[in-house]
Chain A
């Protein structure tokens, strides 16, 4: 953050001769006091002129367009200038074709002036209106938006955590049931499950292959009971077999 160094006012309002105000280095607050007509309001006007391109002390006083009152007595608009030096930069405001121009424009400072009548209306305002008036000095809506996003993220992560915990409980129940089915070996279900998990998977592969071979053999034998039953029935009723047998004998002879 840059600090104020010097404000120089040339022929603006009460500044009949060029005037410079040097700010104390490293101070965040400067108090300017003096008798009536000493130039306190002119200093405020200079900041207003530089930051807002206007002179607030004479606005809303029934004077109409007030720009003609900006130069000090006997001076022209082109004589008016305000120069501000800060620790990081400098800029100058002048009047060009009835407009206030800041050079360079990117160094125009952000200025808010609270005048007596604004402070008085602030005192009389309702709390809501009072907040609206000062919110630009304490506006942290950007932070509030970022905070809301973070809260949303935390809510989402909490929901994901709840789902993960539920899945863990389900898996634990399943492991406990498997442990019970296996006859509750070992100290407890968790020790047993860890032992099972650390078993050499190669041994499982051999067992799986053996089971596959056994299943294939079983499939091949699956229709044997039926075939055996048919054969038994055929044996019991030998007669119906005779034509088949003689036909088979003929076929064999042919071959």
Chain B
């Protein structure tokens, strides 16, 4: 069953991907932890840095 947290997490990740702060791959990986409140600072920064590195690849 999808909780309100899961639904909101989906919308947040969709928005972050649309704004090109996260790639589709790294954004979807964050989703379950985001909804459950288990995202650490390292999780956030790693996802953003990896997404950024992938975006910069020629």
Contact = CB atoms under 8 A, between A and B. Distances in A.
Interface of A: 1, 109-110, 137-146, 149-150, 152-153, 156
Given A1-B2, A109-B1, A110-B1, A142 B34 contact: yes
Interface in B1-50: 1-5, 8-9, 12, 33-41, 44-45
If over half of A's interface residues share one DSSP class (helix, strand or loop), that class is named, otherwise mixed; here it is helix
Contacts of B4: 137-140
Contacts of B2: 1
Given A110-B3, A140-B4, A142-B9, 17 more contacts: A1-B2, A110-B1, A137-B4, A139-B3, A140-B8, A141-B37, A142-B37, A142-B38, A143-B5, A143-B12, A143-B34, A146-B35, A146-B38, A146-B39, A149-B41, A152-B41, A153-B41
Interface residues of B, number: 19
Given A109-B1, A140-B8, A145 B44 contact: no
Contacts of B35: 142-143, 146
B5 A153 contact: no
In the A-B complex, list the 8 residue pairs whose CB atoms are closest, starting with the nearest.
A145-B37, A142-B37, A110-B1, A142-B5, A146-B39, A153-B41, A146-B34, A142-B36
